[in-house]
A = this chain, B = another copy of it.
Amino acid sequence: MKKKIVRIKDIAERAQTSKGTVDRVLHNRGRVADDVRERILAIIKELNYEPNLIAQSLKSQRAFNLAALIPDPNLDSYWEAPHNGLEKAEKELRQYGVHITKFIFNSHSETSFIAKAKEVGREHPDGLLIAPIFYKEALPFFKEWADMGIPYVLFNTQIEHVNPLCYIGQDSYRSGSLAAKILRFGLHSPGTVLVAHVNEDISNSAHLITKEEGFRNYFKGEQLDDTFKVISKEINFPEEEGLDKQLDELRKQYPDLGAVYVTNSKAFEVAAYLEKNALKDIKLVGYDLIGPNQQYLNKGIIDFLINQNPLGQGYWGIHQLANHLIFKKEIPAIKFLPLDIITKENLDYYLDPQ
């Protein structure tokens, strides 16, 4: 009844040879006579040998230096969570010799990204996790890393055709559709729906466009085109100014504004405006559980947040590298993280996943 664990030694005994020879067959090293090799391979199959990962990693003691190229959390608190995810994964994998070096760049500065990306190359890590938020600037490096044989995992921002080991993040299109579904559920009367890209350089972030597409197509697909008018707007403003003017104007133009969908983590900016102007009936959906967003969620001004699970992105990113490098597992090219819907009542559970 019990499954006996098959060891190299067992195989060796059965094949009337030594564990050294079995080892050579298993790892294709050294030379082994053909007949012996085949005998051993047959026995391995027959006994369904699986190497004992525990013993394996105890012995090998190999160090795996992973690099993470990721924005500075002090400049945009969204990035705190991926950092935490990285650290959580590092803790779990330290046993297996994993060590992560962070290369932190300024999310508002392409040059700092380039500088750090160059540093990564010089370090020759065994694997790389990268948030490629600068599309154009990142492109040349992918080739460089590929040439150096460094496997890289993308997260947060999906880039096609750069042949990463894996992409980890959300399906932006679906994400937009989901936001649309939620807002539509809460919309009680015909009106205008705003897609707001707040303080973001649209030209360099394709995923926001994809979100908008998903959002618009939901309304089209449900044949709600004539009930709800979807408009979109880039709202950029310097820190000290705020977005009041722009939204005032927008409301003048569309007095029947019923809902706002903020495509990034800046929903709290819109929420502040809604609160100030006591606009209780305008529904609001945004992204990410950063502090200010949580506050407005608890106040009921932001109705729902969609969680991009940034912690999970960092965590799984490292784990995928480990699965590839250490455990030699097959890695799916894309790992979509769930689109979690968060509201006041279930917020807690998503804040600190054990």
Contact = CB atoms under 8 A, between A and B. Distances in A.
A339 B345 contact: yes
Interface string A299-336: 00001000000000000000000000000000010011
A181 interface: yes
A99 interface: yes
Interface size class of A (residues with CB under 8 A): 35 or more
A278 interface: no
Q: How many copies does the complex hold?
A: 2
A177 B52 CA distance: 46
Interface of A: 2-3, 5, 52-55, 57-58, 63, 94-96, 99, 174, 177-178, 181-182, 185-186, 188-189, 218, 303, 332, 335-341, 343-346, 349-350, 353-354
Contacts of A52: 58, 95
Nearest to A336: B349
A96 B3 CA distance: 13
Given A57-B54, A332-B354, A339-B349, A344 B2 contact: no
A181 B338 CA distance: 21
Nearest to A54: B58
26 contacts: A52-B95, A53-B95, A54-B54, A54-B57, A54-B58, A54-B95, A55-B58, A58-B58, A174-B346, A178-B343, A178-B345, A178-B346, A181-B345, A185-B185, A185-B186, A185-B303, A186-B186, A188-B188, A188-B189, A332-B354, A337-B349, A338-B340, A338-B349, A338-B350, A339-B346, A341-B343
